[in-house]
């Protein structure tokens, strides 16, 4: 048997540097035990995010050179327009500088005070843009998603009965849309099945409500449909993507993920009238409607990235690398949200650090331990992120305490995965000696995890 290998070879490299444990102890102390405060040079393997951290291909870099920087009607805009029509099937779109900007532009038209927006684990900024408008995001993700050991193949799915309960109780004019997050990032990079997309679309139809796809990792979602869902094995990723998007009225996109660019985003529309209204906000917040905060060269690279990002061989390489890390962790019995996600492994911090009290930020403590162990930077998806209840100001303790290890696209090799797994094993093996976490010295009133200052408990 011939083993599996990457679908690309490497043309350019960037050096990274190891450090000593003594150096890291000083650096993390200077960073007030907040991993966001580290400089990237203090990090050996950076798994903070898969957003904007991917490696562009030679084709993308070549497209950069032919970017058209005209203010209005640039050739690059039309390249992007064609890619969105061919790949997602939308006629109308606006470029934006990233995903949250796309949310801001679209929600400025559609979301008003008192509205209800059901969905599957709305991403932080999506929820932020809903709550900022005094509307409410209601999470209708299936219960299986909150049990890390459950091997459900589509843990990102929406629970149709939870969704119907929300729709039944809310007047149609108070439900601007349902958000389907592809893949469901917060639940562990878990996919939504085609059957579930169809089910949600039918229910949306029944109640006269529109569908928005939060599309950051739509191509990874399509890969899981092809490899896990009956009836899709023989379809191409591009065919599956077109089938998925048939059901969407709107799409917002962080192109920093599955379009494999370092910066960029867009919002797509079926409806010309909403597109026209949103155009005004785009001009105010982002830029003229044919560039929306993006350089021409970046729109060119995005168009190529969408094409490459929806190729099966690329996706197979990418998602098998994440699965490889999962298998290594299995060998060492390190527990994580199963099955392995599309863009990341989410380590189950409660099980890895059973002796750290929840008041001392378990997942953050694990993040610091992994950094001290080998200079690896993950991100806390736990109590710091869940923040305080706006009314009581008490900590909100989430259903899971996770440390996300997000894998940048086409950046690290499986040797790096081996280092990550070995470091996680070492922390796991000394779990009984780790009994103390951290306490907060300073925090912001909202989105505290980015800037929080901690000290040893
Ligand atoms: N939607 C999802 C599902 C996301 O994961 C993100 C960003 C956004 C929207 C917002 O896009 O960053 O381009 O403004 N996720 C990054 C992450 C930051 O690390 O998961 P953006």
From ligand 1's centre to the CA of 3, what distance in Å? 34
* Fold (topology level) of 58-309: 3.40.640
What is this structure's pTM? Answer: 0.97
Domain ranges of the chain: 21-50+312-456, 58-309
- Average pLDDT rounded to a whole number, residues 188-195: 98
From ligand 1's centre to the CA of 299, what distance in Å? 18
Region 21-50+312-456: CATH code: 3.90.1150.10
pLDDT digits (tens, 9 = 90+) for 85-95: 999 999 999 99
pLDDT digits (tens, 9 = 90+) for 317-363: 999 999 999 999 999 999 999 999 999 999 999 999 999 999 999 99
Enumerate residues lining ligand 1, CB below 6 A. 49, 51, 98-100, 123, 125-126, 181, 185, 214, 216, 254, 256, 265
Question: Closest Cα to atom 18, ligand 1: which residue?
Answer: 51
Q: Which atom of ligand 1 is nearest to the CA of 214?
A: 1
To test the ligand 1 pocket, which listed residue (124, 190, 257) has its Cβ within 8 A of the most ligand atoms?
257
From ligand 1's centre to the CA of 63, what distance in Å? 25
In this prediction, residue 447 carries a pLDDT of 83
Q: By the 8 A CB rule, do 386 and 363 touch? A: no
From ligand 1's centre to the CA of 431, what distance in Å? 32
CA–CA distance, 127 with 130 (Å, rounded to integer): 5
Q: Is the pLDDT of residue 431 over 80?
A: yes
HEC string for 55-119: CCCHHHHHHHHCCCCCCCCCHHHHHHHHHHHHHCCCCEEEEECCHHHHHHHHHHHHCCCCCEEEE
- Name the residues annotated as catalytic: 71, 123-124, 214, 216, 257, 449
From ligand 1's centre to the CA of 432, what distance in Å? 35
Q: Which atom of ligand 1 is nearest to the CA of 255?
A: 13
In this prediction, residue 390 carries a pLDDT of 77
pLDDT digits (tens, 9 = 90+) for 261-286: 999 999 999 999 999 999 999 999 99
**pLDDT band for position 391 (cuts 50, 70, 90):** confident
ipTM: 0.99
To test the ligand 1 pocket, which listed residue (51, 52, 127) has its Cβ within 8 A of the most ligand atoms?
51
In this prediction, residue 100 carries a pLDDT of 97
pLDDT digits (tens, 9 = 90+) for 16-30: 999 999 999 999 999
CA–CA distance, 411 with 450 (Å, rounded to integer): 24
**pLDDT band for position 446 (cuts 50, 70, 90):** confident
- Average pLDDT rounded to a whole number, residues 300-321: 98
> In sequence order, what DSSP letters do the residues of 20-39 get, joined into one string?
-HHHHHHHHHHTTT-GGGS-
Q: At what angle do helices 218-228 and 312-331 cross, to 10 degrees?
A: 80
Q: Which atom of ligand 1 is nearest to the CA of 52?
A: 13
CA distances for 239 relative to 221, 279, 339, angstroms: 13, 30, 25
């Amino acid at each position: 048997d011939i083993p599996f290998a990457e679908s690309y070879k490497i043309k350019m490299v960037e050096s990274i540097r190891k450090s000593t444990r003594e150096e890291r102890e000083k650096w993390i102390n200077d960073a007030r035990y907040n991993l966001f405060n580290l400089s990237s040079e203090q990090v050996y393997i950076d798994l903070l995010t898969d957003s904007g951290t991917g490696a562009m291909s030679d084709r993308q870099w070549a497209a950069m050179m032919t970017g058209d920087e005209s203010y209005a009607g640039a050739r690059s805009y039309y390249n992007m327009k064609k890619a969105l029509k061919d790949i997602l099937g939308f006629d109308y779109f606006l470029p934006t500088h990233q995903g949250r900007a796309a949310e801001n532009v679209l929600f400025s038209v559609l979301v008003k005070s008192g509205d209800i927006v059901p969905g599957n684990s709305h991403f932080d900024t999506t929820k932020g843009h809903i709550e900022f408008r005094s509307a409410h995001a209601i999470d209708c993700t299936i219960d299986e998603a909150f049990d890390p050991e459950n091997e459900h193949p589509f843990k990102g799915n929406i629970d149709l009965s939870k969704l119907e309960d929300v729709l039944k109780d809310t007047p149609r004019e108070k439900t601007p849309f349902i958000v389907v997050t592809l893949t469901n990032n917060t639940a562990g990079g878990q996919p939504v099945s085609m059957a579930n997309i169809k089910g949600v679309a039918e229910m949306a139809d029944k109640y006269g409500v529109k569908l928005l796809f939060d599309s950051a990792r739509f191509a990874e979602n399509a890969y899981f449909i092809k490899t896990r869902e009956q009836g899709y094995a023989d379809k191409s990723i591009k065919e599956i993507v077109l089938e998925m998007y048939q059901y969407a009225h709107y799409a917002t996109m962080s192109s920093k993920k599955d379009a494999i660019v370092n910066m960029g985003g867009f919002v797509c529309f079926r409806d010309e009238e909403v597109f026209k209204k949103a155009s005004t906000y785009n001009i105010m917040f982002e830029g003229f409607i044919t560039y929306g905060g993006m350089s021409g060269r970046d729109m060119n690279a995005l168009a190529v990235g969408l094409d490459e990002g929806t190729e099966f061989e690329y996706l197979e390489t990418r998602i098998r690398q994440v699965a490889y890390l999962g298998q290594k962790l299995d060998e060492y019995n390190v527990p994580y949200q199963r099955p392995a996600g599309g863009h990341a492994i989410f380590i189950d911090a409660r099980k890895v650090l059973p002796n750290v009290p929840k008041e001392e930020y378990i997942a953050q403590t694990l993040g610091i331990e992994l950094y001290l162990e080998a200079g690896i930077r993950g991100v806390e998806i736990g109590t710091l992120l869940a923040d305080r209840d706006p009314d009581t100001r008490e900590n909100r303790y989430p259903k899971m305490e996770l440390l996300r290890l997000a894998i940048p696209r086409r950046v690290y090799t499986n040797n790096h995965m081996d280092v990550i797994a070995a470091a996680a094993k070492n922390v796991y093996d000394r779990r009984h000696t780790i009994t103390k976490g951290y306490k907060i010295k300073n925090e912001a009133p909202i989105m505290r995890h980015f800037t929080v200052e901690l000290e040893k408990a």
